[in-house]
Structure 1
Amino acid sequence: MTEGAEFSIEDTDGGQRLVLRGPYLVSTVGAVDSDLRALTGPFSEIDISEVTEIDTVGAWIACTLARETGAEVTGASDRAKRLLGAVEDIDDDIDVSPQRLPFAQRVFGSVGDQVFAMGRGVLYALGFFGAFIASIFSLIRHPRRFRMTALVRQFELVGVAALGIIGLMSFLIGIVIAQQGAVQLAQFGAEMLTVNLVGRITMRELGVLMTAIMVAGRSGSAFAAQLGTMKLTEEIDAMRTIGISPMEALVVPRVLAVTFMMVLLGFYSSVMAIIGGATVSGFSLGIPFGTFLLRIKEVVPLTDFYVGLIKAPVFGLIVGLTGCYQGMQVQGNSEDVGLRTTKAVVLGIFSVIVLDAFFAVFFTSIGWD
């Protein structure tokens, strides 16, 4: 068994002498390192003639002690001399931290990187959308390649399975709108206009918008996670190897399903919100449930229904494409799946809100207000 490193201090005519003994290796110097660092000297010499083995770490310790105490290293073997010569000029006070650029340069550099990254993202997204359109036309020319079973399955996952949560969310939103609207309108003696408020805002805006946000968080994230996991496990590469287009087999059914189902889910959400408003109005305003629904038919113009029908498939298309695109961009490791899933939800919701603002301005400009 290898003995540990040792040292002793001896008194001589010329002063104190530090004597190192035993193996001074990286695996043995730990036992005496703290004690050696506590030495202050001065020493007349540092004798290493009794050091049985030495490596670079041991030589560096000897040189450091000699430099700090003003002593001279003696008794070195040929190997020790070579190692001492290699490490004697090493300065342990060298700044090893990376150079920090000036503040302005860091800011502009970061902004520039973000701009270029955004530009690349836009180009990749446009390429993905082009590949989706090309796949649609390819399936139109070869309808036998279309996977109807996959589409029906996505209808179930995106639409039927979401009826419960979307219905509950919309019902509660209708209650909140009716309750808060009635409180404000009561100040002007116009409680009956609560029907107008609930009907128009849910049928035209909140019904479709809140459904799109819910679908982005539910189905958009699922698309990104599913395709991202398949990308990591090389299932998508295997599909390409055997001649199956991942765009036709995986992306098209998902995007079409969320696009078509958004129309039904948006209308369903608006109806549930109106039912919620009618329910709370019956308790707080004394408006009978049936009267509330009949009044909805009178005060909500047909254009509001058309606005919702136009916006719904566009929102669904954006949410589906965003989720699938982020999933197909996964690479590296499983951490990227989580990052891409988060991006799919954030970008999907952001895009939906921006488009909703655009639609609001557009429909107002053409007189559908």
Structure 2
Amino acid sequence: MSQDLRHQLVHFDETDEGVLRLRGQLSIYTVSSAQERVARLDTQKDLTIDIGDLSRIDTAGAWLLCEIEAAGEAAGNRVTLQNVTGETATLLSSVKSAMPEKQVAVKTETGFAVLLHRLGEKVSAGTTFLLELTGYLGLFFVSLGRVIRHPSEFRFTSLVAHAEDVGYRAVPIVSLMAFLIGVVLAFQGSAQLRQFGAEVFVVDLIAISILRELGILLTAIIVAGRTASAFTAAIGSMKMREEIDAMRTLGLDPAVVLFLPRILALLFMLPILGLIANIMGLFGGALMAWIELGISPSMFRIRLIEGTDVSHVFVGLIKAPVFALIIGVVGCHAGMQVKSNAESLGRMTSNAVVTAIFTVIVADALFSIFFAQVGL
């Protein structure tokens, strides 16, 4: 295209009938000057635009015509295009469909009634969520009763595989965590008790803290981070690929095939992990007490046996099955809520970890209140 043709301006001819005729080229090279002319148009009345004499129109020109139509509609007037060829009509339709919609700012409502309404919605959503978790817990017990009556339906291989993943592979991180917690408790306890000449009571501090609370609680938090996310990701991926629908088509119950082995593996392995955490925590505390306070391992053992009641061990381990049920049910429930996109999978995996950890901590607090009331 020659240079003078590129810069040929579009001409606006207004007739007595209120028709605006366009001549020349309405393209990217002339749209700027045409836009200045359009700005002087009277948009307070109906307008008819005749584009039959245009020698060329491209997407930029079509955009300008669409803008004129939009401005007329915004002012409550009608803009009509005349002598539109089929090719031009297709171009105008494509440009109009590609134009972004104007976002209207939503006015934020305030006031006590609005806050009360939002609070009610949150309470309702939370209640619905708790009821869904209760439903999944009941589904687990129903599936457990079913496989007890029909043992051939239970997948023992799946249970062993999940037990290995949930328990055996978590031993290193749980052991390291518990060992370091014991070290920290012994170091911080010795620094405070040394001021009163009561260094020997650091053994009681370590034993009660780890056996009763920290050993099983921190183990459950680590398992919640590892396992709840793994359950959600595995079940959610199967749901995205419609494998769960295929299982139902084949007559397989997802609760028996997917939920039961995972939750049972947690029920079996979390108490064992809690025992390992208790042993490693006591070992770390004994080592630091020996280094920092000079309490020998034999003295630590004697003080541990004489000053620590065995009930502290049972109080800690009683919590393990409840924590296992919470983690397993939350993870399986979140996996079944995944939609058919990756964004939903990531969001539900994150929600499962947060929910499982929060619920475990709440359950531990309720256990502490209960045991305090019954005198344990």
Query: Would you call these one fold, judging by a TM-score over 0.5?
Result: yes
Q: Deviations over 1:170-225 (max 9, x none)?
A: 00000000000110111111111000000111000000000000000011111111
How many Å apart are 1:51 and its aligned residue?
Answer: 2.4
Q: Structure 1: 5+ residue runs without aligned partners?
A: 11-17, 67-72, 84-93
Aligned equivalents of 1:318, 1:255: Cα separation in 2: 9
Question: Structure 1 pair 300/4, CA: closer, same or farther in 2 (3 Å)?
Answer: farther
1:297-347 CA-to-partner distances (Å, cap 9, x unmatched) read 211101101101211111111111111111122113111111111111111
Find the partner of 1:79 among 71, 83, 89: 83
1:100 corresponds, among 107, 110, 113, to 107
In structure 2, distance between residues paired with 1:32 and 1:111? 57
Q: Aligned-pair distance for 1:62?
A: 6.7
Q: Distance in 1 between matches of 2:36 and 2:55?
A: 23
With over 3 angstroms needed to count, the CA separation of the structure-2 counterparts of 1:63 and 1:231, relative to structure 1, is: closer
Unaligned runs of 5+ in 2: 13-19, 42-48, 73-78, 89-100
Whether the aligned pair in 2 keeps the contact of 1:6 and 1:21 (CA below 8 Å) is: no
What letter matches 1:7 in structure 2? L
Determine helix, strand or coil for the equivalent of 1:259.
Answer: helix
Superposition deviation, residue 48 in structure 1: 7.0
Q: Size of the alignment, in residue pairs?
A: 336
Q: Which amino acid aligns with 1:174?
A: G
Partner of 2:96: none
Q: Note if 1:126 corresponds to 2:117.
A: no
Report the 3-state secondary structure (helix = DSSP H, G, I; strand = E; otherwise coil) of the residue aligned with 2:273: helix
1:26-65 paired onto structure 2 within 5 Å: 28=27, 30-38=28-36, 50-52=53-55, 57-59=63-65
Once the two structures are TM-superposed, the CA of residue 41 in structure 1 deviates from its matched residue by 8.8
Between 252-261 and 291-300, the greater mean CA deviation after superposition = 291-300
Contact 2:236–2:335 at 8 Å: present in 1 too?
yes
1:199–1:296 contact (8 Å) kept in structure 2: yes
Distance across 1 between alignment mates of 2:157 and 2:150: 16
CA distance in 1, matches of 2:25, 2:10: 14
Residue identity over aligned pairs, in percent, reads 41
In the other structure, the counterpart of 2:354 is 346
**Contact 2:216-2:316 within 8 A present in 1 as well:** yes
TM-score by length of 1: 0.81
Range 292-301 or range 208-217, more displaced: 292-301
Distance 1:115 1:260 in 2: 34
Give the match's secondary structure for 2:29: helix
3-state secondary structure, aligned to 2:340: coil
Q: Is residue 330–residue 340 contact of structure 1 (8 Å, CA) maintained in 2?
A: yes
2:161 aligned residue = 153
Tell me, in whole angstroms, the C-alpha distance in 2 between the residues paired with 1:165 and 1:354.
23
Superposition pairs for residues 1-369 of structure 1, below 5 Å? 6-7=8-9, 20-24=22-26, 28=27, 30-38=28-36, 50-52=53-55, 57-59=63-65, 78-79=82-83, 97-104=104-111, 107-368=115-376
Superimposed CA distance per residue, residues 49-80 of structure 1 (whole angstroms, 9 cap, x where no aligned partner): 852367865545678999xxxxxx9xx99437
Which sits farther off after the overlay, 108-117 or 186-195? 108-117
* Contact 2:52 2:83 (8 Å CA) reproduced: no
Three-state SS of the structure 2 residue aligned to 1:102 is coil
Contact 1:232 1:333 survives alignment (8 Å): yes
Distance 1:61 1:323 in 2: 52
CA distance in structure 1 between the partners assigned to 2:253 and 2:115 by the alignment: 43
* Contact map agreement 1:7 1:20 (CA 8 A) in 2: no
Report the Cα distance in structure 2 between the residues aligned to 1:268 and 1:140, rounded to whole angstroms. Answer: 30
Moved more, 1-10 or 32-41: 1-10
The CA deviation at 1:103 is 2.1
Distance in structure 2 (CA, Å) of the matches to 1:326 and 1:33? 54
Q: Note the C-alpha offset of 1:292.
A: 1.2
AA aligned to 2:239 is K
